[in-house]
């Protein structure tokens, strides 16, 4: 695991950031711009997560990233941060995604105590579309079949659906809850038989951004799917749609947090 990248994404090495670096956080819609502001925001997340562990390294031609795992207040929470670099090796953009939504809601409450602006879910006046460099869309990679004992680490559920008979219908419901999926990039996972796909898709007219990590078993089937999303408010729309489709399949233990039948949280 790159110690330099880890330190930078933890807010501890601002000199590795370009002066005009920008950051998309898991919780808020507008990008944060400028070395000092971005480094301070990364440090706020590091503190709120209570020193998270860097568990996975993602690598692509132009993008590198780290998955962070933590359990603030005993709630397993994960964030993936993806970085792009300029010719001098300085980080120019960081895009961060989180999971699962109900535990990110608790993280949002903690972050609001330090900087309320970093917890503001406002999407603006129109349908949300991400800021930043224009993407060059790529083809979606082939995804192998699900293993019989596959585990889904969902972006919206507080428990993990397990087994092909359950995960399959959950993924089918997800496919019915978004439209116009496009792929930004595909990344390798260092030291594992796994790959990550960075995606934009539309939910209720808004763009939801995702990172999906597929881990394969010895037979080459998908043993684990780990999905991160941003921004938090758009994922709330997605969670409502998914609840309507899955409430008869998944019990209340999967829907911890605000009632998905209530109005979207502010």
pLDDT band at 266 (very low <50, low <70, confident <90, very high): low
Helix (H) or strand (E) holding 201, with range, is strand 194-203
Closest CA to 51 of 59, 62, 43: 43
Q: How far apart are CA 98 and CA 79, in angstroms?
A: 4
Here the tokens at position 186 are 């595909």
CA distances 253 to 154, 159, 162, 256, Å, are 13, 7, 14, 6
Q: What's the average model confidence in pLDDT over 94-101?
A: 97
Tokens 């585990």 locate to 151
| Chain mean pLDDT for the chain | 95
Q: What is the pLDDT of residue 170?
A: 98
| Percent share of the chain, pLDDT over 70 | 98
Give the pLDDT confidence of 113-132 residue by residue, as tens digits.
999 999 999 998 889 999 88
Q: Residue 147 has what DSSP assignment?
A: E
| Tens digit of each residue's pLDDT (9 = 90 or more) over 33-56 | 999 999 999 999 999 999 899 999
Global pTM value = 0.96
């Amino acid at each position: 695991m790159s110690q330099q990248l880890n330190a930078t994404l933890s807010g501890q090495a601002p000199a590795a950031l370009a002066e005009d670096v920008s950051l998309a956080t898991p919780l808020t819609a507008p990008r944060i711009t400028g070395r000092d502001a971005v480094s301070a925001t990364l440090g706020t997340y590091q503190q709120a997560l209570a020193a998270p562990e860097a568990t996975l390294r993602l690598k692509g031609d132009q993008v590198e990233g780290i998955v962070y795992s933590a359990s603030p207040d005993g709630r397993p929470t994960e964030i993936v941060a993806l970085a792009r670099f300029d010719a001098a090796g300085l980080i120019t953009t960081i895009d961060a995604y989180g999971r699962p939504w109900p535990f990110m809601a608790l993280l949002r409450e903690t972050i609001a105590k330090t900087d309320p602006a970093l917890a503001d879910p406002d999407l603006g006046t129109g349908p949300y579309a991400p800021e930043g460099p224009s993407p060059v869309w790529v083809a979606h990679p082939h995804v192998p079949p699900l293993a019989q004992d596959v585990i889904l680490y969902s972006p919206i559920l507080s428990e993990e659906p397990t087994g092909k008979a359950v995960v399959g219908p959950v993924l089918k419901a997800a496919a019915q809850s978004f439209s116009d999926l496009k792929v930004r990039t595909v990344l390798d996972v260092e030291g594992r038989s796994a790959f990550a796909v960075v995606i934009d898709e539309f939910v209720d007219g808004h763009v939801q951004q995702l990172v999906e990590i597929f881990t394969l078993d010895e037979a080459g089937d998908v043993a684990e799917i780990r999905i991160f999303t941003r921004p938090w408010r758009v994922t709330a729309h997605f969670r409502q749609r998914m609840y309507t489709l899955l409430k008869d399949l998944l019990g209340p233990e999967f829907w911890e947090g605000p009632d998905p039948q209530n109005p979207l949280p502010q």
